[in-house]
Structure 1
Amino acid sequence: MSEGAHATAGLLRDMVPMFGFALVFVLIFRRLGLGATLGYLVAGAVVGPQLLGLVGGAETKMEFSELGITLLLFLVGLELNPSRLWRMKQDILGLGLLQVVLCGLAIAAIIGFGAKFSVAAAFALGLPLALSSTAQVLPMLQSAGRLRTPFGERAFSILLFQDLSIVPMITIIAAMSRNPADATGPPGWVLFVYTVAAIVGLVLAGRFLLRPLFRLIGNLGEREMFVFAGLFTVIASSAIMQMLGLSTALGAFIAGMMLADSPYRHELEADVEPFRSILLGLFFVTVGMTLDLTAIAERPLFVAAMALALVATKALVIFLIGIAFRMSWRGALALGLLLSQGGEFGFVLFAQAQNAWLIEPQAASLFGAIVTLSMATTPFLMMATRRMRAEPIVQEEREGPTADGSNAIIVGYGRFGQTVAQMLLAQGIAVTLVDTDIEMIDVAGEFGAKVYYGDGTRVDLLRQAGAGEAELILFCMDGDRVDAELVEAVHEAFPNAAIFVRAFDRRQLLKLRGSPTRGVVRELIESAIRMAREAMAAVGVDEEEIRRTEDLYRARDRERLKIQFESGDIRAARDTMIVTPRNLRDTLGEDCG
């Protein structure tokens, strides 16, 4: 067997216990409400050389699995178009800069005075510890649905600045280096120039190369090419940054940001997400494998004390910064606890410090263990402080729902829900209104509408609102939170109620296919058809032609949805779309033929 075949066989053998143990531990930790990250870390520690020794070569696997971080930043970039990023500039340059500088100096002082390290070693260790775990925090924000909220944007602003600060930190470590070989490396101002040039180059490539490329692939209708092109975009942008000695994750983020306002954003998200999930999980497994349990066993009190000091210092400093930026104390506390851990880039910077002869290999192992232990504390801290961080609800003003004999329950009292509610009330159908928007509830009260506070996607709250006796349950919320699983659960709990859902787009319609709904309405289709009718009338099209055009569109739309339901592919039946000016009689003739 050739050397390459041996390497492939060895990799496959290693992947079996890695994925197997990860699957078991993640299921257990998810069940306990502790999050997937901690499960991956424990799985890596168990299969690694320190315990069972089932897998070796963690460093090699980490180089590959770090692609998970770059894919994560690419997906985040897809969510942030340049205009939105510009709107966040104050938080990025204000919150982010203060957090990195103040946390870095505070932790360096603790290491220098408390652990008796030299000034250079204290800075080489303290500054990297100011960075938080992007790979841990962003999935937590995404799963909680808070990434696009003001709180999530502030957390992301800090994480983005941390990623930008990696270049200056590498420069600082290189400037303090005692290794003669580092004297030949590029000076800090050269790295800064590289960074600016790389960002400008990626921005131009995104506008003049990536968009035409994806437009061409979209016209061809090849779904596999979207997957290939998405991965190529991430890998190429990261490789360019790596060749320049810069942050690979930053390159992926910029590539994603350049495609954020393109029509292919959703397609790219769907294609890249599975790879991101797998590689990010593999990254945390390899981090667990590199955990030096022997070093921890030799100095357990030092590791525990430093991890506690790290978490407490960062949480306190970020809390005070949040208060200074006029956040509520609960929001500032949540931000501090969420970002209190060390980050994955700490491992990279510790290696840089070791190569620069600023710290011993044993110190790099110890502080790697401290970072890992601090990451393990975050799920526990967020769980333990959940009630403390929750904004209080004044029960006299915003009470939960009660069963009042209404025949319909409307979940979501925004623009859509208000129209539905008024029409049902006009017919004499009593409704119970439920929403979670405190401000909207108060405004509705000023107009005489009684809206109860609560999450209407919870079966127990619907039961409390009287769903067991209601004939109608109507989900009218913004976004695409309602899926087939939720509808199945509600139907099983309240089989006598007809369920109606407001769908955000065709993608949500596909998610709801086969679910026991009485009706699903796309939120904008009727108003769009109404505008098109009025536009045609304004340019002289007669009423009969307008009616026939509407009938044609509706028929094609129904046919396209039917094919998409059957195939499960949002890109199916693209040929039924009308994308160029057509003669109506010719089009009708084609349909008849």
Structure 2
Amino acid sequence: MAASTAEAVAEAAGATNAVLFAEPLILLGAAVLMVPLAKRLGLGSILGYLAAGVIIGPLARLISEPEQILHVSELGVVMFLFIIGLELKPSKLWTMRRDIFGMGAAQVGITGFVLSLGFFLFGWRLEPALIIGFGLAMSSTAYGMQDLSERNDLKTPYGQKSFSILLFQDIAIVPLLALVPLMSPGNTDNAASSGLVEVIKLVVATGLLLLAGRFLLNPMFRLLAATKAREIMTAAALLVVLAAAAIMDMAGMSMAMGAFIAGVMLADSSFRHELEANIEPFRGLLLGLFFIAVGMSINLSSVLVAWWRIILVVPIVMLFKGAILYGLNRLFGASHNNAIRTATLLPQAGEFAFVLFASAAATRALWPSETSFVAAIVTVSMALTPLSLWLSKFLLIEEDEDAMEEDFEGAGGEVLVIGFGRFGQIVSQVLLARNVNVTIIEANAERIRQAARFGFRIYFGDGTRIDVLRAAGAEEAKLICVCVDERETTNRIVDILVSEFDQAEIYVRAWDRAHTLELIEKGVDYELRETYESGLVFGGEALMAIGFDREEVQATLEDVRRRDAERLSWQRSGDFSSGRHLMHPQKVEPEPLVPPEKHRGRDEEEDDDIPASPPRDTERA
């Protein structure tokens, strides 16, 4: 009897373990299959996650309780907002106050009113119409921020305005949740007092977070850092995020807002980058899980029953919402293209609508049939957002390339590299390989976006502006490398550096031999023609290919370098044609019938074809 009982317990435990491991395997497998497929089709990773959720949820029914997964995966949104907070100092938020509390408030108010009026005019009761209208006015923070992050557009003008709108929406969920009891039938007397209690709880919770951020968190991380236990720092980072989220959740505010406030409080911390690195892996996995859970939570039966109403309502909601977003962005100074990008990024309803509708259903302000209908609108609108982003391409007009915001937070190092083209990228790789503290600035916004996809932190800025150079740390740099592509731009930068930042050595990429001589006269410490060393290496390899040994090749290259350095010295003291006797002329037999042209422009072109070396400091003197 005892043996059979033990066997039954063992079988039950085995079955439990199988179920426990089956669901993670299903989730991970679906993500691994669908996300690369969606990316290959150009649909983006978010739609891949949503499709994976639809397949394993309502279609295949491989997982039966998506609500639990949705609750857990909301931590991905929480951690995302924490990382965003780490990037924003309080002073930066203060500069964005007009967009946050001006445009953000206008978006929630106008969109909520228009959508509520629409539902009311189509026969809904006033209370549900208000709840649904303002709920659908909220966009998806997870979707918007993830898309901006993938495109590396968070610091662009439209990215900043989109973030401002999303941030105010996160704030607005608090008063909206407090107003839900007022919409509940028969609970009007208690609603006012409960609303006041919620406000008091919110003020107390925010105060606790601010005090903890100012007096507790930095000393705690300094103490933990002294232990040199990396896993403890990771645990502490998770503790801070989850504790801040829990405090705000108990106060009735969104957990994401609590994490965001904690991030802002740590934005000035010296541990900011380590915290971000510790949280990032959890954030990525949980945010992907969130979108899978959204796809799993689609109620196909509700969609099928009311499919014609959903097909009618979702495009109307997205169209009205997008139009209001476009108009407000234009009113607050955005260009047409930036307004279109924001309007097509945020027309969907968001995850906070689920929270609002669930609260309304709990207080019977929404009926069950109404709740399932509007929840279907939210999920379908999120699923259609990639289509909205695709359509935006046809609404953009040709205009000057958008500039990124000049944000030099964290800039400053012993080496400043100006320009991140093909030459600057190689220079940066050499410096970074030895862990040199390098600051890189680049004036091409698209190049910065591309570099960020490979993990490079590049600052947007024009190197011909002295204020940009100061902000990038030129006054403290030991070495400044000018690696820009254009000759005239290089000259303007060098003129500023020589006159204003004489504490640093100045190394410059030269265009050709004439440019080399020009830079030497300006007083740079080192210059190198952009194709010089690659031409020497190429010539050396060519010699070895036809039978010369390595020692002979090295001797030849040293001879070419020596002759070129001497020739540059002759050219500095004479004219451009000086020092020709140091070259290795090619003996041509028979002589050409037409003699080569002798004017200066032709000479310069011929000179550029001959490998040459920059002079050393002794030769310049």
TM-score category by the smaller chain?
Answer: 0.5 to 0.7
Q: Which residue number corresponds to residue 144 of structure 1?
A: 151
Distance of 1:150 and 1:362 partners within structure 2: 41
Alignment check: 8 A CA contact 2:206 2:248 kept: no
The alpha-carbon deviation at position 10 of structure 1 amounts to 2.8
Q: 1:37 aligns to what?
A: 46
- Structure 2, gaps ≥5 residues long: 1-8, 402-415, 425-440, 460-471, 481-500, 505-621
- AA aligned to 1:198 is A
Change in CA separation of 1:373 and 1:530 when aligned onto 2, cut-off 3 Å: closer
Structure 1 residue 277 and structure 2 residue 279: aligned?
no
Tell me which residue corresponds to 1:405: none
**1:479 CA drift (Å):** 10
Residue 80, structure 1, aligned to residue 99, structure 2? no
Q: Which amino acid aligns with 1:76?
A: I
What residue is the counterpart of 2:62 in the other structure? Answer: 54
How do 1:16-415 and structure 2 match up within 5 A?
A: 16-48=25-57, 50-114=58-122, 116-178=123-185, 183=190, 187-389=194-396, 391-393=398-400
Indicate the SS of the match to 1:382.
helix
Q: Give the superposition deviation at 1:11.
A: 3.2
Amino acid at match of 1:110: G
Report if aligned partners of 2:138, 2:169 keep a CA contact under 8 Å in 1: yes
Name 2:23's counterpart in structure 1.
14
3-state SS of paired residue (1:147): coil
How many Å separate the matches in 2 of 1:14 and 1:182?
46
Q: Secondary structure at the match of 1:136?
A: helix
Q: 1:419 to 1:391 in 2, by over 3 A?
A: closer
Aligned-partner Cα distance in 1 for 2:191–2:36: 49
Gaps of 5+ in 1: 395-413, 423-435, 441-452, 458-476, 485-501, 506-522, 536-593
1:489-542, Cα deviation, whole Å (9 max, x unpaired)? xxxxxxxxxxxxx9869xxxxxxxxxxxxxxxxx9799534799979xxxxxxx
Return the offset for 1:222: 1.9
Letter in 1 for 2:388: L
Residue 257 of structure 1 aligns to a residue whose secondary structure is helix
Q: Secondary structure at the match of 1:221?
A: coil
Whether 1:416 and 2:424 are equivalent positions in the alignment is: no
1:197, CA displacement in angstroms? 2.1
Does residue 528 of structure 1 match 2:477? Answer: yes
SS at match of 2:348: coil
Work out the CA distance in 2 between the residues paired with 1:383 and 1:126. 26
Alignment of structure 1 residues 359-508 onto 2, 5 Å: 359-389=366-396, 391-393=398-400, 416-417=418-419, 481=452, 483=454
Specify whether residues 177 and 131 from structure 1 end up closer, same or farther in structure 2 by C-alpha distance, changes over 3 A only: same
Deviations 1:283-329 (A, max 9, x none): 11111111110111111110111111110011011111112112222
Structure 1 residues 578-589: aligned runs within 5 Å: none
1:242-273 per-position Cα deviation (integer Å, ceiling 9, x unaligned):
22222111110001111111111111111111
Contact 1:333–1:389 (Cα < 8 Å) also in 2: yes
Q: Which amino acid aligns with 2:53?
A: G
> 2:157 touches 2:338 (CA, 8 Å); kept in 1?
no
Q: Whole-Å Cα distance in 2 between the matches of residues 53 and 326 of structure 1?
A: 48
254-263 or 218-227: which moved more? 218-227
1:182-241 CA distance string (max 9 Å, x none): 948952222222222211210110111111111122233222112111110011111111
- Contact between 2:138 and 2:350, CA under 8 Å: does it hold in 1? yes
Q: What is the CA distance between 1:385 and its match in structure 2?
A: 1.9
Residue type of the alignment partner of 1:108: S
Secondary structure of 1:365 counterpart: helix
How big is the shift at 1:342? 0.3
Structure 1 position 180, deviation (Å): 5.1
CA distance in 2, matches of 1:334, 1:132: 14
User: Cα RMSD between the aligned structures?
Assistant: 3.4
Secondary structure of 1:165 counterpart: helix
Partners of 1:482 and 1:100 lie apart in 2 by 33
**Which whole-Å CA distance do the structure 2 matches of 1:140 and 1:373 have between them?**
17
Q: Distance in 1 between matches of 2:76 and 2:417?
A: 39
Partner AA of 1:280 in structure 2: L
Q: Post-superposition shift, 1:77?
A: 0.5
Equivalent-residue separation in structure 2 for 1:526 and 1:27 (angstroms): 46
- Superposed, which structure 2 residues align to 1:540-555 within 5 Å? none
Asked if the contact 2:153/2:449 (under 8 Å) is kept, the reply is no
AA aligned opposite 2:275: L
Letter in 1 for 2:160: E
Aligned partners of 2:139 and 2:166 also within 8 Å = yes
Assess, with a 3 A threshold, how the Cα gap between structure 1 residues 229 and 181 changes in structure 2: closer, same or farther: farther
Take 1:134 and 1:264, find their aligned partners in 2: how far apart are those partners? 26
Separation in 1, partners of 2:458, 2:250: 42
Q: Which amino acid aligns with 1:109?
A: L
Query: Which is worse superposed, 290-299 or 147-156?
Result: 147-156
**Matched-pair contact (CA < 8 Å) for 2:75–2:286:** yes
CA contact (8 A) 2:475 2:503 kept: no
Letter in 2 for 1:307: V
Which is higher, the Rg of structure 1 or of structure 2?
2
Q: Secondary structure at the match of 2:246?
A: helix
Do the aligned residues in 1 keep the contact of 2:181 with 2:187 (CA within 8 Å)?
Answer: no
| Counterpart-to-counterpart distance in 2, 1:504 and 1:107 | 42
Q: Is the 8 A contact 1:291 1:365 kept in 2?
A: no
Overall identity of the aligned pairs, in %: 37
2:36 aligned partner, one-letter code: L
How far residue 391 of structure 1 moved from its aligned partner, in angstroms, is 4.4
